[in-house]
Structure 1
Amino acid sequence: MKYIESLREGERINEVYLCKQKQSALTKAGKPYDNVILQDKTGTLDAKIWEPGSVGIDEFDSLDYIAVMGDVTSFQGALQLNVKRVRKVQEGEYDPKDYLPVSQYDVEEMYKELLSYINSMENPYLKQLAGSFFVEDEDFAKRFKFHSAAKTVHHGFVGGLLDHTLGVTRHCNYFASAYPMLNRDLLLAAAMFHDIGKLEELSVFPENDYTDEGQLLGHIMIGAEMVGERIRTIPDFPVRLGNELKHCILAHHGELEYGSPKKPALAEAVALSFADNFDAKMETIKELFNSAPEGSTEWLGYNRLLESNIRKSSK
């Protein structure tokens, strides 16, 4: 397979890609054409179908896998595909793993490490609660391993939610060892649960877009509700402990202007908000560096999450 990142101007290709987006438009002369965004696991490519409906141009929609034949050109400094032929392909003609961005780490190994933190918990109620999701609920575990942590900002790839959650849990485990005043089990449980609402906030790949529930409620509220519902199935779960855990989830963005319904009022909530913020920003920088030309020390441009122009440091 010819991955998008390896394409060069002047090539003619005949490959299968995921149609991430398709939109009809008109040229300045009023002639219809189609704007198409193609995707594989290495990136996206702008494509144009200048004569939709002509021979060799079959019908297809966004999120279909399509076989395209065309010429790679350049427009305003970016590669573009001039599509000559296109058809919708059937299951068996492609492997979805080739078309979706995925974590660089092994999903099963990451999940195994996450479970080790549950096994290390001493509080029976928090251990049972975490186990009821990550160990006993097979559907939840399957979805959690596959889901992304964001649409575009950070960890927006298959396995991204697990990757981010494990990173935050690692940081929180360190915080608990460095600051004994922290309730380790509460902090670890909060780290594991802080983003589970994203399972409902974002649709699954390849769409990976905000759901109606996600738009109306957001993952923080959804996650707190999911945890609250499961707590009510565990006999004698301490009300005070449940409220502390839900508070950490509700406050994990740290500030009201960043989307948290509550500001952190517990030491564990403060620690979680820093761990979440740190992991998100380090991943954002890593993704910026990975997209930069090899060996480059040029400025990479303003980043909204980091609120700064970024470049690599000198060797």
Structure 2
Amino acid sequence: MATFEKLKQFEPGREAKTVLLLLDVTEKVNRNGGSYCHLLLSDGEEQHTATMWDVKKETYAHFVNNLIECVIKSDVYNNTLRFIVTKIVAAPEEFKVENFIISAPIESDKMYKALLDTAANYDGKDSILYKITENIFEKYKEKLLYWAGAKTIHHNCYGGLLYHLYRMTRMGLVLLKVYPLYKDVLITGIILHDIGKLKELKTSPLGAADFTADGNLFGHVFLGLEMFDEAVSEVKKEFDSISEDDAEKIRLVKHLIASHHGKTEYGAIATPAIPEAMVLNYLDLIDSRMDIYEKNKPSEAGTISERIWSLDGYIYSPALSLPENKNQK
């Protein structure tokens, strides 16, 4: 197969022809009433949004989820690298879509099973918390296997949501060996904290995500609480009665979902009131930031990135070899 240039190879001011996967087209209007489009593009390693001036969405919408050959130029605006597309045609048939899809590094089926197995180990398969987790996972399994974790910023790829939950759960298991926490509450809260993203986002089979109407109106925290309440109502029918301990555990997991953003100004409905909620908030922050560092780290050792606005700073690539982490998967 012919080679093509990756987006990270584009230095500011450089213009070249390359092949990319077009994931989405969004039409915008400038201050003078003219139309332009934002193009969500993937080169198989990174996703970037490029701008194409003086065009309407209808002109290129038929290319969405297909490979394009385009002329693209990079420059720096407000200390941020951006891309400008000036021409689009269909890519040569020799290029294959599967080589341009960004996906989590672990197979979705394996992550799905690992999360349910972990919940069973800490909750017990007959426990109400496991039954609630199982109810939601089985109901939304088809989506979970490919759903993105976000539209942009972090885990915005095929299987990204499961990968986010998987890595957070693994971190949680380590902390459970250090601190006296309610194990089943923490594990269930980690696994279900972002479940509302299944309704906040719509994700294409290629892993590209955008917000739904409900996502814009309510956000995934509120939507996740609705999904949790629905599962609780359904699962309760399987039990003759619910113990006071089980009712309290349900309340605590609901609090973890409601407070996992940490502060109300960051989208939390409540602030963490128990250690498990605080731990969840920090695990969420760690994994989201790690994904940003991993995706934006310069490929050349000893160099520093352009400004990363989501970090409000830069990323340096150390001139050292990173030891292999055999436990990563």
- With normalisation by structure 1, the TM-score equals 0.77
TM alignment of 1:85-234, pairs within 5 A: 86=89, 97-123=98-124, 124-134=127-137, 136-137=138-139, 140-179=140-179, 181-205=180-204, 207-234=208-235
Note if 1:249 corresponds to 2:257. Answer: yes
Q: Secondary structure at the match of 1:121?
A: helix
Alpha-carbon shift at residue 248 of structure 1 (Å): 0.8
Rounded to whole Å, the distance in 2 between the matches of 1:275 and 1:216 is 26
* Structure 2 match to 1:293: 299
**Bigger relative contact order (CA 8 A; separation at least 6):** 2
- With normalisation by structure 2, the TM-score equals 0.75
CA contact (8 A) 2:63 2:90 kept: no
Rounded to whole Å, the distance in 2 between the matches of 1:69 and 1:299 is 27
Rounded to whole Å, the distance in 1 between the matches of 2:305 and 2:52 is 31
Rounded to whole Å, the distance in 2 between the matches of 1:217 and 1:70 is 37
Alpha-carbon shift at residue 240 of structure 1 (Å): 2.0
Unaligned runs of 5+ in 1: none
**Number of positions where the alignment pairs a residue of Structure 1 with one of Structure 2:** 296
RMSD of equivalent CA atoms: 3.7
Alpha-carbon shift at residue 108 of structure 1 (Å): 2.3
* Structure 1 match to 2:313: 308
Deviations 1:112-169 (A, max 9, x none): 32222022024511122222223x43xx112112111111121111111000001111
Deviations 1:49-88 (A, max 9, x none): 99x89xxxx95416624565565667679775543x7369
Q: Secondary structure at the match of 2:272?
A: coil
Alpha-carbon shift at residue 195 of structure 1 (Å): 0.3
Rounded to whole Å, the distance in 2 between the matches of 1:307 and 1:74 is 21
Rounded to whole Å, the distance in 2 between the matches of 1:278 and 1:24 is 33
Corresponding letter in the other structure for 2:177: S
CA contact (8 A) 1:45 1:81 kept: no
Q: Which of structures 1 and 2 has the bigger CA Rg?
A: 1
Instruction: Evaluate the alpha carbon distance shift between residue 229 and residue 311 of structure 1 in structure 2; reply closer, same or farther with a 3 A threshold.
Output: same
Q: Secondary structure at the match of 2:257?
A: helix
CA contact (8 A) 1:16 1:65 kept: no
Instruction: Evaluate the alpha carbon distance shift between residue 193 and residue 34 of structure 1 in structure 2; reply closer, same or farther with a 3 A threshold.
Output: closer
